[in-house]
Structure 1
Amino acid sequence: MPLPLSSQDLLVAIYYGTPIACFVYFGLAFSFTVCTLQTQDSGMNRQRGRRGLMITLILALAATYFYLLACTAIFTAQSLALYDTESPAWYPYYPTWFLGLVAEITLFVLSDTWKYPSSMFELVCIIIQSLRAGAFVALPMICLGLRGNISRPYDNADAERQALLSKRLASNTASSDENGYGSIETEDSDTADNTSEAGSEDSWIAREQQSKDAIAKRLKENGNWFTYLNGFMIFLPYVWPYQSKRLQIRALLVGGCLLASNALHVLVPRQMGKMVDSVDAYIKHQPGSSDSVPNVWLPVLGYALLIFVSGGACLGWLRRWLWLPVEQYSYDAISTASHAHLMNLSSDFHDSKTSSDLTQAISGGRSVPNLLETVCFEVVPMFIDLAVAFAFLSTIFGPLMGLILVVEAVIYFYVTTKLIAFRAGKRREYIAIYRKEWNVAQQSLDGWSTASLFNQIKHEEDRYSLAVKEHMASQVSYEMSTQALGAVQGAIMTLGLIGALFLGVWQVSRQGRSIGNLTTLLAYWAQLQSPLQFFSTILRTISYSLMDAERLLELFQTKPTVIDRPNAAPLNLTHGEVEFTNVSFAYDKRKPTLKEVSFSIPAGKTVALVGETGGGKTTILKMIDRFYDVKSGSIKIDDQDIRDVTLQSLRAKIGVVPQDPMLFNDSIMSNLRYARLDATDEEVFEACKAAAVHDKIMSFPDGYSAKVGDRGVKLSGGEKQRVAIARAILKKPELILLDEATSAVDTETEVQIQDGLKVLCRNRTTFIVAHRLSTVMRADRILVVMNGEIVENGSHDELLHKDGKYASLWSKQISVKPNDSRSRSKSPKRDGDLINDLSMTQQTTTLSKWRRK
């Protein structure tokens, strides 16, 4: 009994529209769950038995739709998504099952077959439809049962046996945020184990794992990919040229080139098909026929022109010419901004980072423009090409051809992603073993003398040989995994091509399609292989760029702790009086470094800080220079709190000679002039003469033009210290901070340097940190710093008479027992004799002479 036309149209619409609607909805909904991290819920569903039943049921549904490729694709995708998702969100699944149930019931009711089955085939179809309807009903019921039976942790065990704190909470409690500076934040146990394992194998792998952990942590904090990626908007001013209309126009023209390139990907195969059809028509043209002779040369020229335009000599060159200034702007802006941000961070940041980390952070910033370029020039065009291919091939060969392409692309992306994840483990192992071989070779060569001394040359040879063999074995495994990836990708592309060719050849042979259409299909398919095959490279590029961008984002989100206060004024230094009032400070809150330190130094006086190592002497100097801010109390210079003045004006008034001077890998003259860039050569020479280093520099083959090497490695310790003293003299500061300024020089050189320091420190407030007490015995005041506290305060003679900690330190340095010192200190005459005896040494004589002058 024929159905009315309206009912027939409804059946066709349901038959073809339902799978398309399900496919589109599930793709969008599942993508949304992935982007919002709903598949990583903490309440993870591990009831594999019921999920396995659901997957089996869904695959059975897909098998019953063998004659309808769209339904097969959607339910196969659902089974794969359910298999790969540990904690699935169910709203992408429910509507598809409901639509499937409604569609089956509607088709069943509108069709009269179920009333009068005329053959065994129709009876089988009725049974299959009934089974489908039952499956669509059973799936949500199983799902609801699966969700309802999730057991809570305290239901599975006795509450008395449960830990009071979870494992993660306990670990975080052990490392609370109150640790402050130097504290270590504890990650999840799995992450920590993985990082530790990676670190034991190779530092590069450890850094890579830490970057991945940082991305995962930030993703979890943000809750979804949208918010996570929105955090990178901080880089937008450095990537997009807001201030240059010219560069903006260039960027827009690049977008036009990309769209033109996508259009050419369609026009070139289409023109090739027209060319083949024109040649075919010319061959079939009968001489003497009334029909005009087909023009074969115009399509050929059009095809050649399109090939030229789409190639690198035209459109590719134009796109690169337009984009290069925009790329250089991004490189310039983000590199200078990251470097400037690093230079303005405080000492607490730089003290906790290595140079390689900082360099890696700056170089990682350059990956942000690369990430943008990858997404805009490779990822977006790839998906545009796929969408255009779906529409174009569907128009020429029907919707079945477009569906073949979509199914192939989905399978290709899924399989490639899984194989890349598998290959990542092989790659990790290969890199670790390769770097192990390199490390073994380097250690053996660097330790040749040790190996020779202990007669272990053969052992080193065997050790390196074993490392090489491990490298070769790992390389074979890694290369085979790479080849397996290529082979599987090629097999998927081949199967898709076979399906497309079968459909194309059938339409050409049975439905009268032209040979040109088949040629267009072949040419277009060849163009689609490149973006699909490039998918694995794009994934790796985006992954590494995202890691580097994550490092830079963390850097940009780090704020300096020592900054100018609002309305901070320049330092008005008139005399140079320095006052500490109840100053407390700690690098780590668990261990105070300075405790309620108070003292006052009159203008122009010299104060020495002495005591055991680690007592806090150098920290006091850093506090004066505001490398760190006090936690409590205040530091004033001429009654001005140094936190209320600008950093630039404060440090412009202070000259520092550090214990370990750092020199740039440049000439000696450049390093000296760094203290005052406008200093003349004569001023530099005078400063070096005062520091007793001028004659030494002139003895070098290149004199003041000699390179000092990285961090001054080509100079001795004493030479570096004298260069640092010359820099301080050249700066002509009002306050002087000397941190073991003469610790690396001999006694004769120290005599010469003291004369230079006399010139430097005259009428200037001076702080001297020293362990050699004979160099500071003539200071106006000596502060004995022990465990962050000032335990003694006074002049050299006063402290000796106190017979305290300073006297003990003094007696140890001059090899006099404390008991002898005490017995002598009882008599003023004996104490004077002690001073006279000490004055016999060359150091004490020189310093006494300097102080008398």
Structure 2
Amino acid sequence: MSWLPARTALHAASLLTARRCPHAAGTLAASTPVRQLRTCRQPVSPRLLAAQSRRNLWTSSSSQSRSLVELSAKEKAAIERRETRRRDWAIIKKLTLNLWPKNEWSIRARVLVGLGLLFAGKILNVQVPFVFRSVIDALNVDISADTTVWLLAGGLILAYGATRVGATLCSELLNAVFAKVGQRAVRKVARETFDHLMHLDLQFHLSRQTGGLTRAIDRGTKGITFIIGSIVFRIFPTVVEVGMVCGILTYNFGFQYAMVTALTMIAYTWFTVKTTAWRTQFRQAANKADNKSATIAVDALINYEAVKNFGNEKHEIQRYDDALAKYEDSSLKIASSLAFLNSGQNIIFSTALTAMMFLAAQGIVNGTMTVGDLVMVNQLVFQLSLPLNFLGTVYRELRQSLLDMDTLFKLQGEQNTMKNHPEAQPLRLNGGTIRFENVEFAYNPHRQILKSVSFEIPAGKKVAIVGPSGCGKSTVVKLLGRFYDPRGGRILIDGQDIARVEIESLRSALGVVPQDTPLFHTDIINNIRYGRLDASDEELFEAARKAHIHEAVMKLPDGYKTAVGERGLMISGGEKQRLAIARVLLKNPPILLFDEATSALDPHTEQELMNNVNGILQERHCTSVFIAHRLRTVIDADVIIVLKEGVVVEQGTHEALLAAHGVYYDLWRAQQDENYA
């Protein structure tokens, strides 16, 4: 019993004593458990007391556990609801700040003018039934043969028309005034998101599928437009109008009319919100299927050549159709549930109109209301049906827009793991000596890529890194550009740890020619100029000549204005690589990194290009690193570093490595045998 809390044991003893001594039950509440045991006529065995205490404790614990499980489920649902509300309000708050931007007085002025137009429009809109009532009452008299419309209600009819026109003009002017406010907010959020995505690390972009990402951004920016439009043109005006109508009905005819109106609004809104919340699951499923189909389509179109080469058109079409089938199923559920929503809304509103008509008719019978009053009440309430009819659609799309914007803002909340060190300084180059010191790296914990790698690349020298596939050659380039940070060791350039160097200054000092050349969907001249945006045409042409691409470009019908197609699919692999080399030569960085940059070239073009590149390296005294698979392209390197299974196994000149009869020698012999075969 030592593990039982004293309080629990005493409580158990009290219960047992009360059960054994019914006449003492009244005394138990007023006295301590110890006293109760002493005054009880039938003594309790300590063993029985302990057993009973354990049973009570077990029963209590089991019951408590079940309660905790049930409570946890309820709490979880409540927490999710609170979290959703908190997230929604955070989104609306953030969006509101964009509607009232700092130091943009023209936007703020438009917001104020828009609010004035909104209230003016609603006041005029509510006045329409009043004028209409006056017209009816003016005509509800005995009319003689010489009576004219102008005499009875001419001015009122003109006022009716003017009021309706005024309300419409205010509404349209509000649209025009707020257009710039909404578009500026969309532009600001879209720019912030794109800016954030451009500064995220490589790991984020490699882990995301482009189709789903672009669709999420597109839907998020559209959601901004819808939320602004819903709040400004639907929700807020409707709330203002309902408040005005309830006040008018109470003042003119009594609280019964306002009560019917208010209860109708509450019932209508409750039904709409609950039903729409139920329908949201179908919309989410449709979105998921839509994202999937978009991703499949983009993936297949980007890899069009691979699809064709392997004859997998039917496979891709089937995958796309499967995603579309899921979207179709969700869309059918959306349509069916919409019919239920619309029917319920109409029943609620029609019931309210019927009740209002009975009240007004009773007022006419009692002589407290006129026929014009009945028409006015009907029209006041009926006018509310127009914005309320859209409440379901607005709420549904508002929920969807909030979900889309939540996805968008989550993208903005993605953390960049590659950040400048708090004490980062610009890179100060003094030749460009690169040093790896015991560098460890792995893309995932289960496979080590680099294992305590150490080597030095002297300033102004040409150094090659070779080795079997998967040994970590290309990883060296990514680490140098700080697309990843090593898990151990450090990398230095001219004695400066690149982890403590400003990333922008580091990358501006590097010129990288990757094996898979990235080209933009524009013309050749702009693809080359991307290396240095302020370069002149002559500088650009000179870089193209050195990259052995100028003559090939000039033979094209449109020359440098020729579009290369998305991802450069309209030109050959060799031409893409030469364009990439021209781009880097135009940048003219002090350190050049070539990651199998000539793998797509024929031997003759490759040799001519390498002669040009070597001449440029000697002329500019650049530090250069060549990641090479074909060893004959780097036999003139000052130092060749050989990697195998993430470890530096050899380094030296071509001749020295051949003489060592090691890994490099085996690679060289294997490639020579392939050439002679």
TM-score by length of 2: 0.78
Per-residue deviation at 1:620? 1.0
Asked whether 1:595 is paired with 2:595, we answer no
**CA spacing shift, 1:729–1:152, aligned 2, 3 Å:** farther
* CA–CA distance in structure 2, aligned partners of residues 675 and 301 of structure 1: 69
Q: Is the 8 A contact 2:223 2:405 kept in 1?
A: yes
Asked whether 1:248 is paired with 2:104, we answer no
Per-residue deviation at 1:470? 11
Which residue in the other structure is 2:470 paired with? 614
* CA–CA distance in structure 1, aligned partners of residues 224 and 462 of structure 2: 52
**CA spacing shift, 1:564–1:603, aligned 2, 3 Å:** same
Match of 2:660 among 773, 789, 802: 802
For residues 113-160 of structure 1, the C-alpha deviation after alignment (integer angstroms, 9 at most, x for no partner) is: xxxxxxxxxxxxxxxxxxxxxxxxxxxxxxxxxxx9996575699xxx
**CA spacing shift, 1:151–1:260, aligned 2, 3 Å:** farther
Q: Which moved more, 1:374-383 or 1:514-523?
A: 374-383
Which residue in the other structure is 2:351 paired with? 495
Per-residue deviation at 1:326? 1.7
Q: Is the 8 A contact 1:674 1:727 kept in 2?
A: yes
1:427-826 to 2 correspondence within 5 Å?
Answer: 479=335, 481-566=337-422, 568-762=424-618, 763-815=621-673
* CA–CA distance in structure 1, aligned partners of residues 531 and 297 of structure 2: 43
Per-residue deviation at 1:507? 0.9
* CA–CA distance in structure 1, aligned partners of residues 427 and 671 of structure 2: 40
**CA spacing shift, 1:149–1:488, aligned 2, 3 Å:** farther
Letter of the 1:786 counterpart: K
Letter of the 1:302 counterpart: A
Three-state SS of the structure 2 residue aligned to 1:815 is: helix
Which runs of 5 or more residues in structure 1 are unaligned? 1-147, 158-165, 170-187, 189-215, 817-837, 843-853
Q: Is the 8 A contact 1:219 1:228 kept in 2?
A: no
Q: Is the 8 A contact 2:212 2:294 kept in 1?
A: no
Q: Is the 8 A contact 2:264 2:348 kept in 1?
A: yes
Which residue in the other structure is 1:378 paired with? 234
* CA–CA distance in structure 1, aligned partners of residues 110 and 333 of structure 2: 46
Letter of the 1:420 counterpart: T
Q: Is the 8 A contact 1:361 1:555 kept in 2?
A: no
* CA–CA distance in structure 2, aligned partners of residues 621 and 538 of structure 1: 51
Per-residue deviation at 1:707? 0.7
Letter of the 2:387 counterpart: P
Letter of the 1:815 counterpart: D
* CA–CA distance in structure 2, aligned partners of residues 808 and 308 of structure 1: 90
Q: Which moved more, 1:557-566 or 1:691-700?
A: 557-566
Q: Is the 8 A contact 1:338 1:365 kept in 2?
A: no
Letter of the 2:556 counterpart: F
Letter of the 1:639 counterpart: G
Which residue in the other structure is 2:50 paired with? none
Asked whether 1:344 is paired with 2:202, we answer no
Three-state SS of the structure 1 residue aligned to 2:140 is: helix
Letter of the 2:185 counterpart: S
Which residue in the other structure is 1:178 paired with? none
Per-residue deviation at 1:440? 13
Which residue in the other structure is 1:261 paired with? 121
Three-state SS of the structure 2 residue aligned to 1:569 is: coil
Which residue in the other structure is 1:329 paired with? 184
Three-state SS of the structure 2 residue aligned to 1:546 is: helix
Per-residue deviation at 1:721? 0.5
Which residue in the other structure is 1:280 paired with? 140
Q: Is the 8 A contact 1:241 1:326 kept in 2?
A: no
Match of 1:391 among 224, 243, 247: 247
Q: Which moved more, 1:640-649 or 1:470-479?
A: 470-479
Letter of the 2:235 counterpart: V
1:93-492 to 2 correspondence within 5 Å?
Answer: 152=63, 154=65, 220=80, 223=83, 225-226=85-86, 229-230=89-90, 233-235=93-95, 237-281=97-141, 283=142, 296-311=153-168, 314-363=169-218, 364-421=220-277, 423=279, 479=335, 481-492=337-348
Per-residue deviation at 1:740? 0.5
Three-state SS of the structure 2 residue aligned to 1:259 is: helix
Per-residue deviation at 1:627? 1.9
Per-residue deviation at 1:571? 2.2
Q: Is the 8 A contact 2:125 2:164 kept in 1?
A: no
* CA–CA distance in structure 1, aligned partners of residues 326 and 438 of structure 2: 62
* CA–CA distance in structure 1, aligned partners of residues 67 and 293 of structure 2: 49
Q: Which moved more, 1:397-406 or 1:298-307?
A: 397-406
Higher relative contact order (CA 8 A, sep 6+): 2
Which residue in the other structure is 1:143 paired with? none
Q: Is the 8 A contact 1:371 1:542 kept in 2?
A: yes
Q: Which moved more, 1:640-649 or 1:418-427?
A: 418-427
* CA–CA distance in structure 2, aligned partners of residues 153 and 807 of structure 1: 74
* CA–CA distance in structure 1, aligned partners of residues 292 and 222 of structure 2: 29
Q: Is the 8 A contact 1:659 1:739 kept in 2?
A: yes
Letter of the 1:276 counterpart: I
Letter of the 1:682 counterpart: E
Letter of the 2:116 counterpart: G
**CA spacing shift, 1:480–1:227, aligned 2, 3 Å:** closer
Which residue in the other structure is 2:9 paired with? none
* CA–CA distance in structure 2, aligned partners of residues 750 and 535 of structure 1: 67
For residues 373-414 of structure 1, the C-alpha deviation after alignment (integer angstroms, 9 at most, x for no partner) is: 322321122222223322222333322222222222232233
Taking only the aligned residue pairs, the percentage that are identical comes to: 32
**CA spacing shift, 1:306–1:155, aligned 2, 3 Å:** closer
Letter of the 1:274 counterpart: S
For residues 13-68 of structure 1, the C-alpha deviation after alignment (integer angstroms, 9 at most, x for no partner) is: xxxxxxxxxxxxxxxxxxxxxxxxxxxxxxxxxxxxxxxxxxxxxxxxxxxxxxxx
Per-residue deviation at 1:222? 7.1
* CA–CA distance in structure 1, aligned partners of residues 438 and 157 of structure 2: 90
Letter of the 2:204 counterpart: F
TM-score by length of 1: 0.63
**CA spacing shift, 1:429–1:573, aligned 2, 3 Å:** closer
Per-residue deviation at 1:421? 4.9
Per-residue deviation at 1:476? 7.4
Q: Is the 8 A contact 1:569 1:645 kept in 2?
A: yes
**CA spacing shift, 1:683–1:478, aligned 2, 3 Å:** closer
Q: Is the 8 A contact 1:232 1:553 kept in 2?
A: no
* CA–CA distance in structure 1, aligned partners of residues 290 and 480 of structure 2: 49
Three-state SS of the structure 2 residue aligned to 1:296 is: helix
Letter of the 2:200 counterpart: L
Q: Which moved more, 1:471-480 or 1:651-660?
A: 471-480
Per-residue deviation at 1:640? 2.0
**CA spacing shift, 1:495–1:387, aligned 2, 3 Å:** same
Letter of the 2:158 counterpart: L
Three-state SS of the structure 1 residue aligned to 2:570 is: coil
**CA spacing shift, 1:789–1:440, aligned 2, 3 Å:** closer
Three-state SS of the structure 1 residue aligned to 2:231 is: helix
Which runs of 5 or more residues in structure 2 are unaligned? 1-58
Letter of the 1:764 counterpart: C
* CA–CA distance in structure 2, aligned partners of residues 537 and 339 of structure 1: 30
* CA–CA distance in structure 1, aligned partners of residues 422 and 291 of structure 2: 51
Letter of the 1:579 counterpart: R
Three-state SS of the structure 2 residue aligned to 1:775 is: helix
Over the residues paired in the alignment, what is the CA RMSD in angstroms?
Answer: 4.2
Per-residue deviation at 1:577? 1.0
